[in-house]
């Protein structure tokens, strides 16, 4: 069975600043992750892809995360294995390089979702060293009180060579948010998978939570709609509610879908002819 990968680097306003760099980064990350997928499981591959996105300062996840009101980076990430239908997440974790890897460690723990300094403490117990994800650019943006930057949550969806599905999503938040605010990226609303489909969302977290979008799309596929139909129906509702959201998905047949109600979304995937497409 042919492996399938789709990744996103956030949705928001269309700007020209660093567009070429962002496209090239997304292209390189996709190529590396797809090569990795050829020899690894869906779960391993989504974590690997999102880890690469977290390591790129151009995206708002891991290194380069936006800063909250007090100038600190608090990150959230989740992983869902479609084969076992297990979900795990960390919320508002601090001072780690790859929140998605910490979330993965919780997949087989009785307590699969941890928040704040307890999540950070868990990371230390598992051997993750202290790491400062704040870049000079994000510090400058925070000092200038800039909002509405174009890059947000990152994520990946995968079908591996055995037909198993998985999704992973990671974010640095929306920036300047109230302390304690929880992102959709560490909820089934923003990241969900089963044996029928896998979906990762980006955009305004509160809008995604209100729509319960990732889980809604996957459940609609499980109930009999095609992935395309589930995306179309769900995004009609998104548009009607005037919500700003983007999403990517893959189903058990290897079909990929994407949709967004924002002006743009950063996405990379192989089309039906096997050609790499990088948007916008």
Catalytic residue positions, numbered: 153
SS3 30: helix
**Tokens encoding 125:** 């117990």
Based on its alpha-carbon atoms, the radius of gyration of the chain, rounded to whole angstroms, reads: 17
The beta strands (E) that lie in 127-229 are given as: 154-159, 165-171, 191-193, 197-203
Structure tokens given for 127: 């051997």
**Closest alpha carbon to 115 in 90, 139, 83, 80:** 90
Phi, psi values for residue 12, rounded to 5° = 170, -140
Q: Which two tokens stand for residue 155?
A: 């994520």
Burial 41-65 (b: 16+ CB within 10 A, else e): bbbbbbbbbbbbbbbbbbbbbbbbb
Residues facing residue 22 across a β-bridge? none
Whether omega for the bond prior to residue 280 falls within 30 degrees of 0, making it cis, is yes
């Amino acid at each position: 069975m042919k492996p399938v990968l789709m990744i996103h680097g956030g949705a928001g306003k269309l700007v020209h600043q660093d567009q070429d760099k962002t496209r090239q980064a997304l292209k390189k990350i996709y190529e590396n992750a797809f090569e990795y997928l050829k020899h690894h499981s869906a779960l391993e591959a989504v974590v690997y892809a999102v880890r690469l996105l977290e390591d790129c300062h151009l995206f708002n996840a891991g290194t380069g995360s936006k800063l909250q009101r007090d100038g600190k980076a608090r990150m959230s990430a989740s992983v869902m294995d479609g084969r076992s239908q297990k979900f795990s997440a960390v919320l508002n974790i601090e001072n780690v390089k790859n929140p998605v890897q910490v979330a993965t460690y919780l997949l087989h723990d009785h307590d699969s979702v941890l928040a704040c300094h307890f999540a950070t403490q868990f990371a230390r117990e598992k051997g993750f060293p202290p790491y400062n994800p704040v870049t000079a650019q994000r510090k400058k943006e925070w000092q200038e009180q800039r909002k509405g930057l174009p890059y947000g949550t990152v994520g990946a969806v995968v079908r591996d060579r055995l037909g198993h599905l998985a999704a992973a999503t990671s974010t640095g938040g929306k920036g300047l948010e109230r302390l304690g605010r929880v992102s959709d990226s560490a909820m089934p609303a923003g990241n969900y998978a089963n044996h029928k489909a896998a979906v990762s969302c980006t955009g305004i977290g509160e809008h995604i939570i209100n729509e319960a979008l990732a889980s809604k799309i996957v459940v609609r596929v499980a109930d009999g709609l095609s992935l395309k139909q589930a995306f179309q129906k769900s995004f009609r509702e998104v548009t009607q509610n005037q919500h700003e959201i983007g999403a990517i998905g893959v189903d058990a047949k290897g079909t990929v879908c994407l949709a967004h109600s924002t002006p743009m979304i950063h996405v990379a995937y192989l089309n039906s002819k096997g050609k790499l497409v990088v948007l916008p």
